[in-house]
Amino acid sequence: MNRFNFNNIGLRNKLLIIYIVSVFIPITLTHIAFYQITSNNVRTQKVNDISLSVKQISNDFRTAIDDAVEISSKLYTDYELYNFLENKYEKTIDFIHAYHDYYIGIYKEVPLFSTVRSLNLYTNNDTVIYAGGVNKIDTLVKESHWYKESELIRQSYPVLTRRIGESGKLDTFSLIREMDYYKTKDSTQKILELQFDLGLMEHIFHNVTFPGDIYLLDEQGIIEYTTNPKVNWSEGDIQYHSLTLSKDALVFEESFNVPYLNNWKVVGVTQERLLLEEVQDSRNFILYLALINLVFPSLFIVYITSSLHLRILRILKHMRKAEGQNFELIKGVNYQDEIGELTQAFNRMASKIKELINDVYIADIQKKDLELQRKQAQLSALQSQINPHFLFNVLETIRMRSILKKEEETAKIIQNMAKMLRKSFIWGKDWVSVEEEIYLINCFLEIQHYRFDDKMQYHIEVDPEAKKCIIPNMSLIPFVENASIHGIEPIKRNGLINISIKCHGDAIICEIKDNGQGIEKEEYERLMQSIEEVESIGEHVGIKNVYYRLKLHYSNHFDFKVKSAEGEGTTVRIVLPFQK
């Protein structure tokens, strides 16, 4: 497995990684952290402010109740008030005098306390007149909401409760206290009621800005008052726990620990989203700032990256052209940065290579072309020294006379001889089929067999599919000629030449094998060495000529091997691409 290497990453991707790691991620994380810290700080501050608001509401409510409790405590220990309510008045005028002498003074002092609207006394003393704040404890009173709610606990301490007000609803608050301080004055039941001002609750619970709803709960969890307009608290007893709060609701509580407000509490309910309304503006500002910090650097980096990437790609494109020997110069402005210097260096290199090619390579081609023309002229001059038509006519005359004399074998040999001479003098096409090459080889071997009789034997085996394959003209017959002349003729025993041409995949394998005298070791080494000599033909003209023509046609896509041992014979093996 190849290990990761940063150097294998493209330049554009490297710059992108640098941007992401050095710019995008730090800026994003910084703004996220800044937003989170700001949100948490704002939320914490808001929670503290709301807690203080709830505490202030509870303190204001406690202060209002304490004012009423203070009045009730003063009256609760007023001995004269007990006498006023306990006395048995024989005449109405006696009660009126007592009422004016004592009660009117007390009644006038009560409004000085802003939280208390009125003072009411309740008694079952039948000798008093029930008017002007003095009321009878009758069946109607005993069935009232405030009487039942305070009946069990008003003997110990004052009780805060609701009563039906002028609107016919339970919307008026009263402080109820049983008058039982003096045990010697208990012949009648006496109850003190301090009725609070109607706007007291609204003033206390609405005076402080609170982003939500405020609830006043008694010890049983009943909503005594609320700022929530959807809750009809004055219609009857509604449990706070029966309300359905939203999932993001935040609840703030302030409990009272005084006896007359035992387990009462002020509950504030607000929504989480309301706390972060001020953060929205900060969030938008942070978002816009982040976009500015990201967009402009991003555009600038993209511009720089594109400049570097495109210019490097242009150099790479021309370098690939140079691989195909197209040394085109890079056009454009010569910039002074490193890439510009690299561009100028490439142009200098391309110009120098083009100059060297023109001076050396092309000159060498021209030299070889002139040499080829010179050798072709020599060959043409050699061929012109012999009149081919004269030879063909003579051979044809001899063949016809042999036929007339019934010498069929001689005529056949002369015909083969004429075909070989015609092939030697007239080159024709460069490519021939294997079938045509084998036909010419067969003509040559028949002539040799005629010359040496049984001493010269041969065997030809060709795959039918291989016959249609094309090969360079006269690429096999020189080796057959060598096998006959240099291999079989010098030996005294009978000789055999085996010729095999077979298909193997997308190649054909040509093998010429003889059992002649073979090649001496030193001569074999000189032969193999001379094949590699390009400039001079020298000895072994036929073999080298075939080898060079194969190399010309197939480049390095062929295989040529010669094996020989003195006294054992020679094998030539040629593997060529299969072509039709």
Q: What secondary structure does DSSP assign to 318-349, as a single string?
A: HHHHHHTT--PPPPS---SSHHHHHHHHHHHH
First to last CA, the chain: 44
Q: What is the pLDDT of residue 411?
A: 67
Is residue 288 within a helix (H) or strand (E), and if so which, with residue range? helix 277-323
User: At residue 377, does pLDDT exceed 60?
Assistant: no
> pTM to 2 decimals?
0.50
Give 425 or 445, the one with higher predicted confidence: 445
Alpha-carbon gap, residue 150 to 161, rounded angstroms: 7
Alpha-carbon gap, residue 176 to 155, rounded angstroms: 10
Rg (the chain; Cα; Å): 64
Name which of 15-19, 141-145, 154-158, 517-521 the model is least confident about: 154-158
Is the separation of the CB atoms in 497 and 511 below 8 Å?
Answer: no
**Cα–Cα separations (whole angstroms), residue 412 to 43, 205, 403:** 119, 138, 9
User: At residue 553, does pLDDT exceed 70?
Assistant: yes
- DSSP letter for 90, please: S
Alpha-carbon gap, residue 459 to 442, rounded angstroms: 10
Is the separation of the CB atoms in 265 and 254 below 8 Å?
Answer: yes
Is the separation of the CB atoms in 509 and 438 below 8 Å?
Answer: no
Q: What is the mean pLDDT of residues 324-351?
A: 77
Angle between helices 25-76 and 277-323 (to 10 degrees): 170
Alpha-carbon gap, residue 443 to 418, rounded angstroms: 10
Model confidence at 266, pLDDT cuts 50, 70, 90, reads very high
Q: What is the pLDDT of residue 113?
A: 54
Q: Provide the 10 A C-beta neighbour count for residue 320.
A: 10
What is the DSSP code string of 107-166?
HHHGGGSTTEEEEEEEE--TTS---TTEEE--HHHHTSHHHHHHTTTTTTS-EEEEE--T
User: At residue 375, does pLDDT exceed 70?
Assistant: no
Q: What is the mean pLDDT of residues 212-228?
A: 89
**Cα–Cα separations (whole angstroms), residue 159 to 33, 153, 178, 258, 282:** 53, 7, 9, 11, 49
User: At residue 2, does pLDDT exceed 70?
Assistant: no
The two structure tokens encoding residue 360? 């050396």
Alpha-carbon gap, residue 90 to 88, rounded angstroms: 6
SS3 217: strand
User: At residue 469, does pLDDT exceed 70?
Assistant: yes
What average pLDDT does the chain have?
Answer: 80
Long-range contacts formed by 521-530: CB under 8 A, 24+ apart: 521/566, 524/562, 524/564, 527/562, 528/562
Q: What is the mean pLDDT of residues 127-155?
A: 81
**Cα–Cα separations (whole angstroms), residue 17 to 6, 14, 22, 25, 468:** 11, 5, 8, 10, 61
User: 416-442 burial, b if ≥16 CB within 10 A, otherwise e?
Assistant: bbbbbeebeeeeeeeebebebbbebbe
**Cα–Cα separations (whole angstroms), residue 408 to 14, 399, 400, 401:** 88, 9, 10, 10
Name which of 1-10, 224-233, 360-369 the model is least confident about: 1-10
Q: Report residue 421: phi and psi, to 5°.
A: -65, -40
User: At residue 389, does pLDDT exceed 70?
Assistant: no
Q: What is the pLDDT of residue 385?
A: 46
Is the separation of the CB atoms in 301 and 19 below 8 Å?
Answer: yes
Q: What is the mean pLDDT of residues 48-70?
A: 88
Q: What is the pLDDT of residue 4?
A: 66
160-202 pLDDT, tens digit each: 888 887 777 888 888 888 888 888 888 888 888 888 887 888 8
CA dihedral (56, 58, 63, 65) in degrees, to 10, reads 160
User: At residue 106, does pLDDT exceed 80?
Assistant: no
Q: What is the pLDDT of residue 535?
A: 46
Is residue 391 within a helix (H) or strand (E), and if so which, with residue range? helix 388-404
Q: Measured in whole angstroms, how far is the alpha carbon of residue 345 from the centre of its chain?
A: 39
Name which of 14-18, 281-285, 458-462, 469-473 the model is least confident about: 281-285
The residue written with tokens 């940065």 in the block is 337
- CA nearest to 497, candidates 551, 549, 458: 458
The residue written with tokens 């090619």 in the block is 357
The residue written with tokens 């007990």 in the block is 82
CATH code of the domain made up of 431-577: 3.30.565.10
Q: Provide the 10 A C-beta neighbour count for residue 315.
A: 16
Strand order in the sheet with 190-196: 134-136, 116-123, 190-196, 172-178, 159-163
Q: What is the pLDDT of residue 449?
A: 79
Is residue 271 within a helix (H) or strand (E), and if so which, with residue range? strand 265-271
